[in-house]
Amino acid sequence: MKKKKKNYINDLINLKYGKMKEIIIELGSLKLRVEGRSMEPTIQNGELINVVPPMEINIGDILLYQRRYDLLLHRVIEKEPMLCMKGDNENFQEYIDTESVIGKYNNDVENNNINKIFNISDGNYIIEFQVQNGILEKIEVYSN
């Protein structure tokens, strides 16, 4: 029984991050607040950053990607055969596939100032994304 529950949680998280990727594509950009120090001094803990669809990925780009239950924001240091990611403030590096990438850091893009609520459901739960002035303010999960 535990295995089914764990798989269900994993499916729900994949649904959540998949929808976040769709929102970034639909809006063209989305502002997120950074939690963590792995990209300091380039990006500070608590800083608002702009994430755009990852149309092209190059060495040096900073990508938002999914690792299991978390989102990470790290720099591309190698592209082949997989993307090699590393935080500017870390010694650790990891390899990911492009399917894990949700967006690309780009603070040169103007904020879209959109106010919108996005929903997705798996039949048991509804995940609601609240975007205010182009900033992802809240993600709520409700049971059906």
Which domains are seen in the chain, by residue range?
A: 2-143 (2.10.109.10)
Mean pLDDT of 42-51: 95
Q: What's the CA gap between 90 and 64, in Å, rounded? A: 16
Cβ–Cβ under 8 Å, residues 69 and 13: yes
| Average pLDDT value over all residues in the chain | 91
- pLDDT tens digits, residue range 2-46? 555 557 778 888 889 999 999 999 999 999 999 999 999 999 999
Q: Return the H-helix or E-strand segment holding 16.
A: helix 2-27
pLDDT tens per residue, range 122-139: 888 899 999 999 999 999
Structure tokens, 75: 């720099």
Residue 15 has phi, psi (to 5 degrees) of -60, -45
pLDDT of residue 12: 85
In this prediction, residue 68 carries a pLDDT of 85
Q: Which residues contact 41 (CB under 8 A, 6 or more apart)?
A: 88, 89
The pTM score is 0.88
User: What's the longest Cα–Cα distance across the chain?
Assistant: 48
User: Between these two residues, 112 and 99, which has the higher pLDDT value?
Assistant: 99
CB 25 within 8 A of CB 135: no
Copy the structure tokens of residue 32.
Answer: 């997120």
